[in-house]
Structure 1
């Protein structure tokens, strides 16, 4: 099945070159547009290389030389379109990698190339930056990073199952561009915290994506 489908796709992508080679009235502009298909461009190139074999062959010096007066789309044009195709296909691949990153990636919106934050990340990095918090008392912790906006800010998050308090006044800042990990033994409240942030639990005093929730919700 794969061999049959591949053959059909290859033949369909090669059809424009067969049609334009049979019609000598096709303009070079139209031939150039059809060369956006790699198979079509390769077909043009091979056809001109084989045609040049009856004389001196295709050489570096005759890339832009027409073998006859009725040929306007030259081998040099094919080479230029192949370079354009390489750049164009690379941009498409990079775009799809951002929009469809797969199972373990974070997808960007389809319009991300027109967002100022994509082209000027350093100019917007300090926007919505909160001051780093410092621990007091005997608790020793690393200071929050400076210069990164907080995507999630948790302030005194509390969760109790009847008389059992599983999350007791948790305060945590999660920053964009940083990796945040919750570590703890079984029953420490890691899963409960994540469930609350994803809307599956009771939230008390949480700022999520710039929206502060001050009243509990279920």
Structure 2
């Protein structure tokens, strides 16, 4: 003999089914959020000083099979061109100004659940290339084993170009990575600063044991 299912029993079964589905969806959503929080997505740079006409490659680290898209807040200032590897883009300075590159990493959803997305940004400042350069001092006296900050003036003043420094005799004086003149041994060396358009400036460095102080 079949047992008749009462109305309260039907309501209970429906409520139980609904609670089970809700709990399952909540668990899946929490797993997705946890995965998103733990996802080691990073950019190879988050800020960049870019010279007009120059480019750099912006790359997402930590992706596997995710979908990655790149967008510039102002393509007139910085244009973006996706690379073949689908996780990088070429950013080019088109005009002087500021732009933000927005990177979206989208993970595929599970079954009927929506995909999750992570957003990263890189702020870019585009400045003109330097047209001229000069040292603030054309000659400097230094004692051996001392350091002094290199001081040059670039025009236009808003340029972020970094000159390339060289020395006629690095054993006497040279410029290090921190842009400081390093006096090594007694003698005379000429430090040359070169910008991209080929213009140069020079500073004569005299290193002397008899020097009690540096100029």
Shared fold (TM-score, shorter chain, > 0.5): no
Answer 1 or 2: which has greater helix percent: 1
Q: TM-score, normalised by structure 2?
A: 0.25
Q: TM-score, normalised by structure 1?
A: 0.25
Where relative contact order (Cα < 8 A, 6+ residues apart) is larger, the structure is: 2
